[in-house]
Structure 1
Amino acid sequence: MEITLTIDDKPVKFKSSGAVTKRYKMQFQRDFFADIASLGITMAKEDIKSTDNEKTMEFMRKIDFDLFLDIAWVFAKTADNSIHDPLTWLDGFETFPIIEILPELQDLIALTISSKKK
């Protein structure tokens, strides 16, 4: 699955594939699945995008932003192998609206950790 999001007025591709977990391990020396589990993202997309500031602040207190940025990078790198290391990639954006991007990437995260039962 591949999606394109607009970040800082630039189209950015994100992709899930079988290589995501290995690429993540190679780059960050951490287990992708353990990091996903530690995020504890339990709020619905609607809650994350909510105009209710209290819900948004509750969500923001729970998330490890560095971890999320690493996950976002690995999906972007999977979609476009020419992107640079995570810090250089993030420096290419004036803003990186995590709260807007997270709901969009949740489907990729779910796809990566799910299985197809026959």
Structure 2
Amino acid sequence: MEKTIVISDKEVRFKTTGGSAIRYKAQFGRDFFADVAKLSSLEKLTKIDDEDFKPEDIEGVDFTFFYNIAWVFAKTADKDIPDLLSWLDSFDEFPIIELIPDLQELITSTLKTKKK
């Protein structure tokens, strides 16, 4: 799956492939699927803009995962992306909360099968 998202006035391509989980492990030394499983509920994160949102709704969520996975998906789409910190520093803003629904869609595409 491929998706282009505008971040800080830049179009950024994100792509998932069969190698995305391996790229994640090679870069961060962590198992992608185990880290996804640790996310108790991505639904909590979609409530952040709601009036009913409370800070404890996101207690225990490791946002580093989302920065890491955003980089992996961007690197998969564009091999010239620099290391994670250099890439993040290239943006004036990187609104990770706003990106989570798009990242969630990409994550889900790596977990689903098209087999019938």
TM (norm. structure 2) is: 0.88
Q: Does 1:24 align with 2:24?
A: yes
Q: Return 5+ residue gaps in structure 1 as ranges.
A: none
Deviation at residue 59 of structure 1 after TM alignment: 4.3
Aligned partner of residue 41 in structure 2, secondary structure:
coil
* Counterpart-to-counterpart distance in 2, 1:117 and 1:35: 24
Instruction: Tell me, in whole angstroms, the C-alpha distance in 2 between the residues paired with 1:67 and 1:89.
Output: 15
Q: Does 1:115 align with 2:116?
A: no
Aligned to 2:14: 14
* Kept in 2: contact 1:49–1:100 (CA 8 A): no
**Aligned pairs for 1:1-118 within 5 A:** 1-43=1-43, 48=46, 51-55=49-53, 57-118=55-116
Deviations 1:84-109 (A, max 9, x none): 11111111111110111000111110
RMSD: 1.9
Q: Distance in 1 between matches of 2:38 and 2:47?
A: 21
**Could you tell which deviates more after superposition, 19-28 or 58-67?**
58-67
1:25-52 CA-to-partner distances (Å, cap 9, x unmatched) read 11011100001111223317xx716632
**Count of aligned pairs:** 116
Using the aligned pairs only, state the percent identity. 52
The alignment's TM-score, normalised by the length of structure 1, stands at: 0.87
* Cα distance in 1, alignment partners of residues 37 and 60 from structure 2: 13
